[in-house]
Amino acid sequence: MANISKKVSWSGRGDDRGERTPLLNGAEDGKYNRHVLHFVFQSLDYDNSENQLFLEEERRMSHMGFRCLETRRWVICGLIGFLTGLIACLIDIAVEKLAGYKYSAVKQNIEKFTEFGGLSISLILWAVLNSAFVMVGAIAVAFFEPIAAGSGIPQIKCYLNGVKIPRVVRLKTLAIKVFGVICSVAGGLAVGKEGPMIHSGAVVAAGVSQGRSTSLKKDFKIFEYFRRDTEKRDFVSAGAAAGVSAAFGAPVGGVLFSLEEGASFWNQMLTWRIFFASMISTFTLNFFLSIYHGKGTPLCPCIKYYIFFTKLKYIHRPCLQVMEAMLVAAVTATVSFAMIYFSNDCQPLGQDNTEEYSLQLFCADGEYNSMATAFFNTPERSVRSLFHNPPGSYNPLTLGVFTLAYFVLAVWTYGLTVSAGVFIPSLLIGAAWGRLFGILLSTITSSQSIWADPGKYALIGAAAQLGGIVRMTLSLTVILVEATGSVTYGFPIMLVLITAKIVGDYFIEGLYDVHIKLQSVPFLHWEAPPTSHWLTAREVMSSPVTCFNRVEKVGRIVDVLSNTSTNHNGFPVVAHTTENDEPGKICGLILRSQLIVLLKHKVFVERASSRLSHRKLQLKDFRDAYPRFPPIQSIHVSQDERECMMDLTEFMNPTPYTVPQVSCGTGNQEGSSPLSFG
Tell me the pLDDT tens digit for each residue of 367-384: 888 888 888 888 888 888
Query: Higher confidence at residue 149 or residue 486?
Result: 149
Contacts of 37 (CB under 8 A, 6+ apart): 6, 7, 8, 21, 520
**Pick from 189-203, 380-394, 435-449: least confident:** 435-449
> Are 387 and 431 a contacting pair, CB within 8 Å?
yes
The share of the chain scoring above pLDDT 90, in percent, equals 23
pLDDT for residue 136 is more than 80: yes
CB-facing half-sphere around the CA of 609: CA atoms within 13 A: 7
Alpha-carbon distance of 374 to 376, in angstroms, equals 6
Alpha-carbon distance of 304 to 301, in angstroms, equals 5
pLDDT for residue 179 is more than 80: yes
pLDDT for residue 500 is more than 80: yes
pLDDT value at position 449? Answer: 55
Alpha-carbon distance of 320 to 312, in angstroms, equals 12
Question: Measuring CA to CA, which residue among 468, 103, 497 is closest to residue 297?
Answer: 468
Tell me the pLDDT tens digit for each residue of 406-442: 998 988 888 788 988 888 899 999 999 999 988 888 7
pLDDT for residue 281 is more than 50: yes
> Which residues of the chain form CATH 1.10.3080.10?
68-101+137-293
- Helical axes 229-248 vs 63-116, angle rounded to 10°: 40
pLDDT value at position 316? Answer: 66
pLDDT value at position 73? Answer: 93
Alpha-carbon distance of 22 to 8, in angstroms, equals 12
Average pLDDT, the chain: 81
Q: What's the pTM value of the predicted model, to 2 decimals?
A: 0.83
Question: Measuring CA to CA, which residue among 297, 613, 331 is closest to residue 463?
Answer: 297
Tell me the pLDDT tens digit for each residue of 302-321: 555 555 555 555 566 888 88
Question: Measuring CA to CA, which residue among 352, 391, 348 is closest to residue 370?
Answer: 348
Tell me the pLDDT tens digit for each residue of 331-356: 999 999 898 888 887 888 766 555 66
68-101+137-293 is classed CATH 1.10.3720.10: no
What number is the average pLDDT over the span 240-262? 88
